[in-house]
Amino acid sequence: MNKKIINFIQNIYQTKEFISLHEPRFRGNEKKYLNECIDSTFVSSVGAFVDRFEKDLASYVGAKYAVATVNGTSALHAALMVADVSQGDEVLTQALTFVATCNAISYCDAKPVFIDVDLDTLGMSAKNLEIFLQKNCVVKNGECINKTTNKRVKACVPMHTFGHPCEIDAIATLCKKWHITLIEDAAESLGSFYKQNHTGTFGKMGCFSFNGNKIITAGGGGAIVTDDEAVAKKLKHLTTTAKVPHKWEYAHDIIGYNYRLPNLNAALLVAQLEELEDFLASKRLLAQKYIQFFEDFDDITFIKEPQNTQSNYWLNAITCKDKKMRDALLEITNKNGIMTRPIWKLMSELAMFKDCQNDSLKNSKYLSERVINIPSSVL
């Protein structure tokens, strides 16, 4: 079986050399726009490509505004701050996520509370969220209060895992009912849609990442999208060191952050965004090849896009029958030059977050022991 999988992946990528998990593709206007940026001498956080990328990204996802940042983590941090998440607050999120989600919450001196995921989406379960809120929370004076800790539940940050949208409309409805600000961690889901609406547009804000392994990349980069003009202005001010606009004076009215995306990176992202539709088509073709291949396996399940969604299939993933099989497959593929990776260790199992409140996390634990990411680079 293992040899069959190895041969199949090598045939897809037409090589017996090392195959990475997800490498970038630069085959459009990247070099042209980089040269234009260099020639302009505007290579830092002010420049035409930053403005252009923000406009193009907002248009693509269907949001009114986009604010570009240096990475996805800074985007999450800024969004949480603008949502008034502060010391002592709690933020509902999932334990099955990349550590950046919880790190950003911690930067605000807030604490994550972990809700279980659904097996089909790998993202926060709306059903489990509702159960947790009904059991543990109450609305007082327009705020959601955790009766167990007596802390304010200020925000909810579900993630669209591997580009597969979670049941975000139901989560949005619950957040509105319970007076909780919804911030989508859409870091992995550019090009993914839930019921014809792009991820990141269901909440007050949505955060994207353009790290080197994302579907489009500038080596780094992130962005926050929103339909709220006041929020967009606050985000831009906060991420630009909170500098008060003036032709020459340096004045800052609050503690701000140097989080703005450099024009040099934005030039890459403008070119990459032009290629996105081709990337998405290639990824769907690759996913279909994997779907057909793994149909013949009784003990491996390929993770398909959930119902009512169109996934970008950023990272293809399989679920093994048990942890032993997962570990064996990880060992043999990596030994043969095929880069595969397990899903993240649960945040609730990390030393920094082990004392955070959570529900059963039954599905999260199941998936954390069985899921493997397999090569997903654009063909």
Segment 47-105, tens digit of pLDDT: 999 999 999 999 999 999 999 999 999 999 999 999 999 999 999 999 999 999 999 99
**Above 90 in pLDDT, residue 1?**
no
Please tell me the predicted confidence (pLDDT) of residue 148: 94
Q: Do 81 and 220 share a structural domain?
A: yes
In a domain? residue 375: no
In a domain? residue 347: no
In a domain? residue 39: yes
230 sits in which H/E element: helix 229-239
**Above 90 in pLDDT, residue 372?**
yes
Average pLDDT over residues 272-294: 98
Q: Which of 112, 128, 213 has the alpha carbon at shortest distance from 162?
A: 213
The domain spanning residue 221 has which CATH number?
Answer: 3.40.640.10
Please report, to the nearest 10 degrees, the dihedral formed by the alpha carbons of residues 354, 355, 359, 362 taken in order.
20
In a domain? residue 287: yes
Q: Do 195 and 88 share a structural domain?
A: yes
Q: Do 210 and 197 share a structural domain?
A: yes
* Mean pLDDT rounded to a whole number for the chain: 97
In a domain? residue 377: no
Please report, to the nearest 10 degrees, the dihedral formed by the alpha carbons of residues 182, 185, 190, 196 taken in order.
-30
Q: Do 327 and 178 share a structural domain?
A: no
Euclidean distance between CA atoms 364 and 120, whole angstroms: 11
Tell which of 256, 274, 292 closes a domain. Answer: 274
Number of domains comprising the chain: 2
Beta bridge partners of 243: 252
Average pLDDT over residues 194-211: 98
Query: Does residue 99 contact residue 347 with C-beta atoms inside 8 Å?
Result: yes
Q: What is the pLDDT of residues 292-337, one digit of tens each?
A: 999 999 999 999 999 999 999 999 999 999 999 999 999 999 999 9
Q: How confident is the model at residue 343 (pLDDT cuts 50, 70, 90)?
A: very high
Q: What is the pLDDT of residues 95-109, one digit of tens each?
A: 999 999 999 999 999
Domain that holds residue 299: 2-25+275-342
Q: Do 71 and 128 share a structural domain?
A: yes
- Answering whether pTM is above 0.95, one says yes
Q: Do 300 and 225 share a structural domain?
A: no
In a domain? residue 349: no
Q: Is the dihedral of CA 229, 230, 236, 237 positive or negative?
A: positive
Q: Do 222 and 168 share a structural domain?
A: yes
Percent share of the chain, pLDDT over 90? 98
Q: Do 306 and 233 share a structural domain?
A: no
Q: Do 265 and 280 share a structural domain?
A: no
In a domain? residue 362: no
Q: Do 148 and 55 share a structural domain?
A: yes
Q: What is the pLDDT of residues 237-248, one digit of tens each?
A: 999 999 999 999
Tell which of 259, 274, 289 closes a domain. Answer: 274
In a domain? residue 66: yes
Q: Do 259 and 279 share a structural domain?
A: no
Q: What is the pLDDT of residues 208-221, one digit of tens each?
A: 999 999 999 999 99
| Angle (CA) 89 94 98, round 5° | 105
Tell which of 274, 299, 326 closes a domain. Answer: 274
The residues, any chain, with a CB within 8 Å of residue 196's CB and separated by 6 or more, are none
Q: Do 66 and 48 share a structural domain?
A: yes
The two tokens of residue 158 are: 């579900």
Euclidean distance between CA atoms 114 and 97, whole angstroms: 10
137 sits in which H/E element: strand 137-140
